[in-house]
Amino acid sequence: MKSKKIIALMSAVVICAGMITSYKSSRVKTR
């Protein structure tokens, strides 16, 4: 159970980081 929770947390962090990087890159492109 604990390991599954950790994996889910890590995947969520990875998704968040990807969204932030894509958002930043898109902002730079618009500028």
Distance (Å, rounded) from C-alpha 27 to C-alpha 8? 29
pLDDT of residue 5: 95
* Tokens encoding 29: 């492109």
pLDDT of residue 28: 81
User: pLDDT (tens digit, 9 = 90+) per residue, 1-31?
Assistant: 789 999 999 999 999 999 999 999 888 877 6
Distances, alpha carbon 2 to alpha carbons 7, 11, 17, 26, in Å: 9, 14, 23, 36
Helix-strand-coil split of the chain, %, nearest 5 = 95, 0, 5
pLDDT of residue 31: 67
What is the three-class DSSP state of 31? coil
pTM above 0.85, yes or no: no
